[in-house]
Structure formats: C-alpha cells, structure tokens
Structure 1
Amino acid sequence: MDASGAVTRPHGVAQVVGLPALEIAALVKSGEMTAVDVVHAHLAHIDEVDARVGAFRVVRREAALAEAHAIDTALARFALPLAGVPIAVKDNVAVAGEVCTDGSPACPERVETKDHPVVARLRKAGAVVVGITRAPELCLYGATDGPGTVTRNPWDTARSAAGSSGGSAAAVASGCVPLAHGNDGMGSLRLPAAACGLVTLKPGLGTVPAEIGADSWSGMAVNGALATTVADLAVAHAVMAGEQPGELPAPGRPLRIALSTRSLVPGARADGPARAAVDAMVALLIEAGHTVVRKDPPITPGAAAGAMTRWMAGADNDAEHLGIDRAALQPRSRTHARIGRVVSRLGLVRPATAERFRAQMVDFFEDVDLLLSPVSAGPPLPARPWHERSFLANIAANARWAPWTAAWNLAGLPALVLPTGVRPEGQPLAVQFVGPPDAEGRLLWLAGELERRQPWRRYAPVFDPTTPSSTAPV
C-alpha cells in the first residue's frame, strides 16, 4: 500500500477485492478486467465475511452478474466513471426488482418497479448493485439491528456498525464493496463512517435528490455515499448530484477553520481519545498552513427541539407512507411513531424553525470557511439487539453517544467525516467538518489534502481483503 492508501500489487481476479472504486473502474474501462470477474470476486468475499458482519439483507447474485455483463458489452463503457464498480444500497430507497423494507419486517413486501433517482444515476455511471444493506427499523437509530440479526462493526465485532446506514458502512469497511449508498437524517451517514473508519459527506439541502420515505424527515434527510478514499467519495458524490466528476478546485488560499467541542446534550462530552483526535487534527491543519480559531456555533435548545420533532414525526409519516401496521412495529418504534403523531397534530414541525436556524448558521460562517468538531463521544455502541430495549434506552444511548451531528441536518448544511486513527482499544477515530451552503467541494478538497498528509487504514484489519490473513475467524 502506498502513502495514499492505494493498493500497489499486480492485478488479478482475486486481487481486485480491496482496490479503490476508481482503480476498479479503470481496469474495467481499459478491458484489463471484466465487470463480471470483478463482481464474481466481490460476491465471493461477501460469502466469506458477511456471516460475521451482517451487512446485507439481500445479496443480488444473478441480477448483479447480469448488470455486470451489460457493462462489459456496453460500447460506452470507457466513458463510465464507475464502470463495473460493485456497490451496495441501503434498504430505504428503491432498487428496481427488489423489495424495500426501510429496515422494518412489518413493511408490506412490494417489488420496486423503478430505481430511486440516486440509484439510477449510480447505475448510469456504470456501478453494479450487488446487494441491499441492513438498517434499523424506519432508519431511526444509531445502531443497526433487528429480529435475528445484529450488524457488527468490522473493526470490533463486539461493537455496532452504528446507524442507520450501518449495513452500508459494514459492507465497505469489511471490503465487500468499495462504495456504498447511505443517507443521513440525524447523522446516519456520519456516525457509521466514524464507527467504521470511513470517509463520507452529508450533502447540503437540495444538492442530491432526497425522496426518502414520506418527506425525507421534513427535509432533514439526504442521500450520500460511504467510501475508503476521498477520490472515490468525490466521484460518487458528483454522480449522485448529477454533476460531471472532475478535479476538486483548490480554494487558492489557506482556510480559516472554527473549532468547537461543545455538546448540547447535558453530561455528554467527547472522551479522551475523541478529544485527542480533534487536537491532532488541529495540529495537522496548522501544519498545512490553515488557521484554526475557537468559535462555538449558536446551536440553541430550540434548534435541538426542531430536529427532535422532525425525527419523531418522521417515524409516524414513514409508517403511514409505507403502509405499515403500527401494531407490528418494534416497541421502541411504536412509541417513536406514537409521539411523532402527537407532534404532528400539535403542529410542532414548523418550517420557520429550520429556516431561522439555517440563517443563523449561514451567518456563523461569514468569517470562517469551515467548522471542526468531534463526531461521537466515545467508541461505538455495543453490538446487541437494541430493538428489544425500550424507546427511552435507545434515545438515551443515541443522545449521549452522538450529540454533534443532528444540528447540521436541521440547517441543511454539508458535513464531512474523516478518519483520524484508532483508539487504544482498536476502534476507529474520526472528526467532523461542516461548511456553509455549497461547500461540498471545499470539504472534499480539504479532506483530500488531509488524506495525503495522514493516510488511514482503509479496511478493518481482520476483514481486510488486501492482506492474506483477512479471513481469519473472529
């Protein structure tokens, strides 16, 4: 592996698993490798590791191989940015020919007749959907589990892969796919990325088609991708945003970056390793020539309540949208949806709350380019059947662990999570960068610069497909 984290060994069918998405696409476009062989190799790796991780609800063997064959025979294959790249899609957007359950066994089984817009864009770019990844019921929680299954963190299988895009994160971190789709309504991309040592970008409002559930949690939820390299993430983001992938424009000057570690949740604060990760990132930024200043964003209890009401109402709205019998929901989700119905009937989901908060946050960025903060307070939650625990137990665990993400969903501003190393006990560490509207390119550029200066391990050690011992039992 070179300094950038790219694999530098001879290519072959077995060796293709673990390559970054863009290297795979280059091999397929050049004809050095077929998309069918690429997909075969990744399906074999899924067979080896997913029983221990639980990333996938559905593996699309025949359909994926058929899609790969279509890539191999396409005359325009050489122009596809993701030609033959195996991807996974979270179980809350439509994939034609598959059932979408939004993580709920109570969801009526309906075969989707067309792709969600972001899935259609990924496929048009040459990506091959090899599977549908697991999510907690209605994508409500910060750990991914359900009846008979717990999605485990490939870095430490005693820990959760987080949520709600936990299945997608586990699929990437274990090498099953180089890229995965996910979405983020309260941190559902950023928390799994932080837990599983990946890089991700929550796009700003309107940048990527949302269309998640009934109303994308009153506009808070957005689609994005999970990747092992910034280059892969940048291309996936461009594809999903309907843009032409290209070089990220440099800002042309050092950045002025605000630093805040303040948490709004009483008693919740970053632990020692999380604080050390932020301190190390500050040092790296200064070394790179940027300026870091202490500045807390004006996140008020009212704004926090605005995010919470949308989260509650989202459970009720999505259950209605999907035609789910609420009596069949898990107890925690049933309570969540019941509270959401009350919230909606009382008119507590007010557009003005989000608009006012967004304006305040835009003002915050008038004299700084980006904001740096922690992502989570400590290591990922334990891997256990959280769906069997009470609503309050789930809410308390989620709030204590992840108080830094939800505000940016309410504000509709872009936010990126970047790996920074590992904890003493071996789980990944990460930090979060947030920007003003349309700062996705700036965030990705900075992430790429930091990746070059401080590359991270791209896969969880035990499952790493680039090392001979990666399939050792755990």
Structure 2
Amino acid sequence: MTKWAGRTATEIADAVRRKVVTPREVVADHLARIAAEDGRIGAFRVVRAAAALEEAEAVGARADLSRLPLAGVPVAVKDNLPVRGETTRHGSAATPAAPADDDHVTVARLRAAGAVVVGLTHVPELCVFGTTDGVHGISRNPWDPARTAGGSSGGSAAAVAAGLVPIALGNDGMGSLRIPAAHCGLIGLKPGTGRVPVDLGGAWFGMSENGPLATTSADARLMFSVLAGDHSTGGVVDEAAPATEPAESDADSGSGKSRVGRTSPAHQPHPLKIAFSTRSPIAGVRVSGPYAALARQAARTLAEAGHHVATAHPPYPLSFGAVILARWTGGTAQDAEGLDPRLLMARTRRHAAVGRFAGRLGMLRTDHQAALNERLEPFFAEYDVLLTPALARRGPAADPWHQRGWLANVLVNTACSPMTPPWNLSGLPALAMPFGSLPTGLPGSVQLVGRSGSEHQLLDVVAQLEELRPWRRTAPATPAHRPD
C-alpha cells in the first residue's frame, strides 16, 4: 500500500489530479500519522479529523480537480489565523472561544487551490516568543523532542518536520517562520511587504507577514504562489500526461535525502552577487561557531556554483536592538488590548507593559522602517542576495518557558535568534533553509535575504543548494509508522 504521509505537496497534488489517489485517502493517511506521532511532538492544538475527511471528499468531487495546484494536499494552519468553524486562541486562555465565521484570506486561498485544513497548530501566547509553549501545550523539535521547535510558528514547523503534513501556514513578525524552520530543518519564507495578504490586526506595526513552511523548494514555491495569488506558477501538470505512481520519495527510498524539487532550467539562477555576513544586527549578541561555520560552507558552495560571493556586512544601526525591542513589546501591547489581564501569563503581561512604556517614551515612531531601508539601499544596490546564519545558537530545551520570568525569556530568545528581525522591520523578503548538520546532529540552517519582490529568486537559490547539498526532508517516524 502506498503511503502518502511523508510525501511532498507537489507529489500529492500531482497524484490526486491524475486520480492515482483520492483526497480522502491522502487525508486519512495523514490523520493516522498525526494520531500516531503528535503525542510526542505536540504540533496541534486542534485536529479536525471528521471535518477534514468531509472536506477531502468535497475536493475530490470538484469539477476543477485536475487544475487545482494543491489538490488534496493536507495543510496545517497556525492558531492565530481564523479557520471557519474553529476557535482561534492565539495560544492564550484570554482570547474568545467563539468559532470563526470566516476563513482568513490566506486559508481561503489554500482551500480554493484544493488544500484540506487538517488542524490548527500550537503557538506561544499572542505569538510573542521564540519557544512554543503555554496553556495549550509544548511543541517539540521532531529531530530531538528534548529541544524546542522554535516559535512562534513552532507547531506548524513541528507538524511539517515530523511528516504530519507536507506544508503548513504560519507568519513571521520577528522571525516566527524562519526561527522554527531553522530549528526543524525546513524552508520558512517570510515574503516581502505586500506580497501576501496579512490582516493580522496591528501586525506588530507592519512587521508581520504570512508565509509557507515546507521541506522542498518546489513545495515552498508552490505554496507561496498560491498565497500570493500568483497563478502563473501554480505548478499544474499537463492533463494529457499519463497517470502514474508518484516518484520515489526519500521516505520510501531510505536515502534520507531530498529527491524532489530539484533545480530545473527554468529556475536555475544566473550568477548573482551574494554578500556573506555573520555579524549580528544586535550589539553584544554573537553568532556561535557551528552556525557561522555552516554559513561559510554555504557561501563556498555558492561560490563554487559560479556566484560572486564576498564578505560584506549590512549597515545595521547601533540603535537597532532598542528599536526592535520597542516594536516587539509594543506589538504585544496592541494585541493584549481588550483581553482580561488576569488570564494572560505573567511574561506576556510584562512584555505588554514594557511596550506601553516604550510608546510613552516615543520609541514607536513610524519612520524607523524608512530610516533602515535608506541605510540598506546602497548595500542591496550592490548585492542581489545576503547570506547569513539563520540562528546564532541551538534552541533552548522544550520546557515550560511560560512559567519563567520575562527577562529570562527575552534573553534566551535574543541570544538564539538575533539574525531575523531586521528583515521584518525593512519589509524585505527573507527565508531560512536547511544546510548541513550541527555537531549535535540537528539540521543546520542559513538565511537568505533579497531585494523587494525577489521571493522567487531566493527560492531559485534554495533549489540550487538543494541540488548541490540535499537534505533529509523529515525527521524519522517511530518504527511502527515509517512508510513501507
């Protein structure tokens, strides 16, 4: 029997369109994988088993099935994006428990493309921190369940890395897609401003963007294209092509390496000018040796592939740390308005209080983005892409960090992930992608940043590195539930 859990979104959609498998069969197989594995991972707050099977049946009956980019693909949604008929809890006991009347626009786009929402994933309260833990549970890294999956899209990342779903929807306000992607060995793309609908309330003063988590460049490109409403890259196959079984995946072959989403001539990047930097944007925070070494290896790989790579550091302002702390806390203060503070965790209350104080000091000015981009403009006029480490050090333990003090949370988050916030403030596209392995055996990761509108160019670079340095897409399942 063909197993579908653990395969890529492009494989699944292709097979469904060709009627090799039905959406219901695909979703049922993933629900079985979730039931078997999520107890040790903690990816989902809600699993929509019955509703997902009904929706899969409806997708299978659609007249346009053969043209759906995500036909029958199971998808997980971060629990701060409304899903019709489900509660949206934002990781908190203080949020309303009424079900959503409508899908968020990004969820609606995924469903219109044929995807089936199988569940809502864990987040830290109000999506504040880089560890996913709280009143609804703890999300763990499938490669090492003793470590955090990251945050705030930690549940979504854990679900994809464990093979519970092939793709997941999250968002990124200071690295909330890229941080868990880096911990869990995934591609996490933060689109540039205006590329994907946001509609997240205050959206942390415009820093938050919705985007995909995926295991291959092809899946990331496909999902981003759907979210951005870009139908020209929907990836739909020729209806006249013969129906066949999907190509062997890493889950079946046992090779442990990515065997799909390879670089095609259409996506082969021409030689680019790439800047390489391991300098932290936040004064006093340094990148540890293993993460810097992986970024250097990626730089050498790209240089050997014909790109022009040079060490060059973006002109981060000395005040960046204070600016980003003000927006981080100020965004939380906005999100906490109208919620019962007695039901919020202590670390969240303190974070919001600091944000209100920052506002009173005038630290939430609207000109910070323009000032940063003015500094960055000459840099990105010279370089097409910036390559950096995605993280500065390995993630903390998968502990109940919500029970610890506010300062402990801020310090551990800042020490681990200083490299991601500048690109939220600037609005430029950025992604984390797997590269190599750490001394601990966990997946390594690097970050790519590009000019406005360069998401597909960044994914071209990912596809090239995927070809040159393939990675294992998902963490091993428990033996009883590994694909045949």
Residue 449 of structure 1 pairs with residue 464 of structure 2: yes
Correspondence for 2:331: 314
Give the equivalent residue in structure 1 for 2:315: 298
Alpha-carbon distance in 1 for matches of 2:57, 2:136: 34
**Does 1:117 find its partner at 2:78?**
no
Once the two structures are overlaid, the 10-residue window that deviates more, 399-408 or 293-302, is 293-302
Q: Secondary structure at the match of 1:365?
A: helix
Residue by residue over 1:170-210, the C-alpha shift from the partner in whole angstroms, topping out at 9 and shown as x without a partner, is 00000100000010000000010000000121100111011
Q: 1:282 aligns with which of 275, 299, 320?
A: 299
Q: Structure 1 residue 227 and structure 2 residue 242: aligned?
A: no
Distance in structure 2 (CA, Å) of the matches to 1:285 and 1:148: 42
**Match in the other structure for 1:216:** 203
Report how far residue 42 of structure 1 moved: 0.3
Residue of structure 2 equivalent to 1:330: 345
Q: Which amino acid aligns with 2:329?
A: M
Structure 2 Cα separation of the partners of residues 240 and 93 of structure 1: 13
**CA deviation map 1:203-247 (0-9, x unaligned):** 0011101111x2110000000010010000001001001111527
1:143 corresponds in structure 2 to: 131
Aligned 8 A contact 1:145 1:385 in 2: yes
Counterpart of 1:342 (choices 353, 357, 369) is 357
One-letter identity of the residue aligned with 2:295? V
Question: What is the deviation of 1:154?
Answer: 0.3
Which residue in 2 is equivalent to 1:269?
286
Normalising by structure 2, report the TM-score.
Answer: 0.91
How many angstroms does 1:450 deviate by?
1.1
Q: Given the alignment, which residue of 18, 25, 46 partners 1:58? A: 46
- Aligned partner letter, 1:278: A
Q: Distance in 1 between matches of 2:179 and 2:106?
A: 21
2:252 aligns with: none
Alpha-carbon shift at residue 70 of structure 1 (Å):
0.6
Give distance in 1, aligned partners of 2:472 and 2:232: 25
* CA distance, structure 2, for counterparts of residue 135 and residue 73 of structure 1: 34
Letter in 2 for 1:209: P
Runs of 4+ in structure 1 deviating by more than 6 angstroms, as ranges, are none
Residue among 447, 454, 459 paired with 2:474 = 459
Distance in 1 (CA, whole Å) between partners of 2:312 and 2:173 is: 25
Q: For residues 188 and 422 of structure 1, do their structure 2 counterparts lie closer, same or farther at Cα, with a shift above 3 Å needed?
A: same
1:433 to 428, 442, 448: 448
Verify: 1:129 aligned to 2:117, yes or no. Answer: yes
C-alpha displacement at 1:251, in angstroms? 7.5
- Cα distance, 1:466–1:289 mapped onto 2, change above 3 Å: farther
5+ residue gaps, structure 2: 236-263
Contact 1:306 1:354 in 2 (8 A): no
Please give the per-residue CA displacement for 1:258-284, whole angstroms capped at 9, x wherever unaligned. 011011434432222212211210111
How many residues end up aligned between the 2 structures? 454
- Three-state SS of the structure 1 residue aligned to 2:66 is helix
**Unaligned 5+ residue runs, structure 1?**
1-11, 470-474
What letter matches 2:80 in structure 1? Answer: N
Give the equivalent residue in structure 2 for 1:9.
Answer: none
| TM-score normalised by length of structure 1 | 0.93
The residue aligned with 2:371 is: 356
In the TM superposition, residue 108 of structure 1 has moved relative to its aligned partner by 1.7
Q: 1:463/1:380 Cα in 2 relative to 1: closer, same or farther (>3 Å)? A: farther
**Counterpart residue number, 2:194:** 206
Is 1:102 the counterpart of 2:117? The answer is no
Q: Does 1:416 align with 2:431?
A: yes
User: Within 2, Cα distance between the matches of 1:218 and 1:468?
Assistant: 44
Deviates more, 1:349-358 or 1:180-189: 349-358
Q: How far apart in 2 are the matches of 1:393 and 1:373?
A: 26
- Counterpart CA distance in 1 for 2:41 and 2:477 is 11
Q: Percent identity?
A: 48
Please tell me whether residue 406 in structure 1 is matched to residue 394 in structure 2. Answer: no
| SS of residue in 1 equivalent to 2:278 | coil
1:47 aligned to which of 29, 32, 35: 35
Q: CA deviation at 1:342?
A: 2.1
